[in-house]
Amino acid sequence: MNKKIIFEDRNNDWEIWEKNNSIERSIKRIQNKLPEMEASKQLAKIVRRIYKKNFRILDFGCAAGHYYNSLKKIDKYIYYCGFDSTKAYISYAKKHFKKNTNIQFDTQSLFSMSKKYNNKFDIVFCSNVLHHLPSIDIPLKNLINASKKYCIIRTLVSDNTHLARFYYDDTTNRRGELNNFQLQNTYSYGLIRKKIKKIGNFKVTFENDIFNGKNINKEFTSKERKKYPGLTKFVDGIQIAGSKVFEFKWIIIKK
Ligand SMILES: C[S@@+](CC[C@H](N)C(=O)[O-])C[C@H]1O[C@@H](n2cnc3c(N)ncnc32)[C@H](O)[C@@H]1O
């Protein structure tokens, strides 16, 4: 067998937001052109259970900062800080919230967070980001390092690890590798626990994702699907994105 085999899935160009920052709908949510996300509602419920006055909250992977709109219902003076590695979102967020002194933003990556943020927040949360990353060890470490008390993570967790790529279309690079994709990685409960254990001896609990499927499907219109091919839909009690079942869980880490 001396034929050259093309491995179409060998492309490591996973940072979709750098190529096309209109892929996120966060700005539309901030502008009230889209409703509050189901995940944002549940995050606020979890935070409400543990929140104390003057807590500092960090949203890592905040996009344009739309989770703030759910959190401010808990305390209108809530301190909210948003980090994202995509400059365009952070620039938008800084402008949008410039009059609010309780809100800050910084361009930071989960892979290289500045040490000045270690132990600076009471609650650190990261929603819908880890399943899109090629590795979660450094991101988990930075999330836990930034937090004094709690880390809350929403990502795909199941009995088995299932690492996957969803291709928006079949365009290829010069080597013939498909190059327009997002990672859709599910980690097993065991592997998540093992990775967190390596960082420290913390209490880790998993909570089910609670959502109104009808609200999710309201956004699954043909117009939106054309623009955002990986959109999630709700069928028979499960969430599906592309052709993969999305088993979202909330991971709560208590330091
Ligand atoms: C699917 S969006 C989720 C946005 C928001 N958390 C939500 O749930 O709607 C993923 C976000 O993670 C950001 N992101 C991707 N890689 C990152 C990294 N290494 N560090 C920080 N943010 C990152 C992207 O720019 C994008 O805003």
CA of residue 192 relative to chain centroid, distance? 16
pLDDT of 1 over the 70 cut: no
Whether the per-residue pLDDT at 2 is higher than 70: the answer is no
Q: Given this model, what pLDDT does residue 169 score? A: 93
Mean predicted confidence (pLDDT) in 225-233: 85
What are 231-247's pLDDT values in tens digits? Answer: 899 999 999 998 999 99
Q: Mean pLDDT, to the nearest integer, of 124-150?
A: 98
Give the pLDDT of residue 19. Answer: 86
Among the atoms of ligand 1, which is closest to the Cα of residue 37? 9
pLDDT tens figures, 166-181: 999 999 999 999 999 9
In this prediction, residue 196 carries a pLDDT of 98
Q: Using the atom order of ligand 1, give the atom closest to the CA of residue 62.
A: 6
* CA of 231 relative to ligand 1 center, distance in Å: 15
Distance 4 CA to ligand 1 centre (A): 37
Q: 130 C-alpha to center of ligand 1: Å?
A: 8
pLDDT tens-place string over residues 56-98: 999 999 999 999 999 999 999 999 999 999 999 999 999 999 9
Percent of the chain with pLDDT over 90: 84
pLDDT at 4 over 70: yes
**What distance in Å separates the CA atoms of residue 193 and residue 200, rounded to the nearest whole number?**
10
- Centre of ligand 1 to C-alpha 83, Å, is 9
pLDDT tens sequence across 100-120: 999 999 999 999 999 999 999
* Measured distance between the N- and C-terminal CA atoms of the chain, rounded to whole angstroms: 55
Q: Which of 19, 42, 84, 211 to mutate to test the pocket of ligand 1 (most atoms within 8 A of CB)?
A: 84
Q: What is the pLDDT of residue 56?
A: 98
Could you write out the DSSP letters of every residue in 186-242? BEEHHHHHHHHHHH---EEEEEE----HHHHHHT--HHHHHH-TT-EEEETTEEEET
The whole-number pLDDT of residue 228 equals 82
Supply the pLDDT for residue 116. 98
5-45 pLDDT, tens digit each = 889 999 999 998 988 888 888 888 988 888 999 999 999 99
Do 124 and 226 meet the contact criterion of CB atoms below 8 Å apart? no
Q: Kindly report the CATH number that applies to the domain delimited by 16-161+186-213+247-254.
A: 3.40.50.150
* pLDDT at res. 39: 96
User: Where are the chain's structural domains?
Assistant: 16-161+186-213+247-254
Q: Which of 147, 251, 136 is nearest to 195 (CA)?
A: 136
Given the structure tokens 């909250």, which residue do they identify? 57
Identify the H or E element spanning 250: strand 248-254
Determine the distance from the C-alpha atom of residue 144 to the mean position of all C-alpha atoms in its chain, rounded to a whole number.
15
